[in-house]
Amino acid sequence: MEIRSILNTVMGAGLRSTLLSQLREYDTMETEALTIALQRGWDLKDLPPGNRLFLSRRTRFLVRRRNTDSSIAEVMIKKNTKAMISNLKSLHRSQCRDSQVAILSQKILDCGNAHIQQFQHYL
């Protein structure tokens, strides 16, 4: 996850607290998603380790170029926005009929919007 890849970066206490709070929210939603998948017997594919490493290094590179709270917030806003667009496209393509999945998807989108609002404070 992008947040984990930058937590060892130097940043203000307020931004660190914001990131840790957001990470807890994402962990909760991930647990909920895994529970839904297990209940339905879905076979989940994990992101290949090479891709995961590349994304983590790329995020750290973007943040460390200008290591300020503002640059960290900017990178995280861009990553949240990109993830939200991807999630919306997937949701519309799948035309999800599963109410639990639809509710969780909306929760993830709402959470992403809230996180973007939280980061705007640091710009």
Instruction: Check residue 1 and give its pLDDT.
Output: 59
95 Cβ contact list (under 8 Å, min separation 6): none
State yes or no: pLDDT of 53 exceeds 80: no
Q: What SS3 state is found at 35?
A: helix
- The better pLDDT of the pair 104, 52 is held by 104
Confirm if 10 and 72 have CB atoms less than 8 A apart.
Answer: no
Instruction: Check residue 16 and give its pLDDT.
Output: 93
User: Quick one: average pLDDT of 112-117?
Assistant: 94
Instruction: Check residue 35 and give its pLDDT.
Output: 93
- Give me the residue spans of the domains in the chain: 12-120
- Distance separating alpha carbons of residues 106 and 94, to the nearest angstrom: 14
Give the pLDDT confidence of 8-45 residue by residue, as tens digits: 887 899 999 999 999 999 999 999 999 998 998 988 88
Q: Which two structure tokens, joined as six digits, stand for 62? A: 């973007």
Confirm if 81 and 116 have CB atoms less than 8 A apart.
Answer: yes
State yes or no: pLDDT of 96 exceeds 80: no
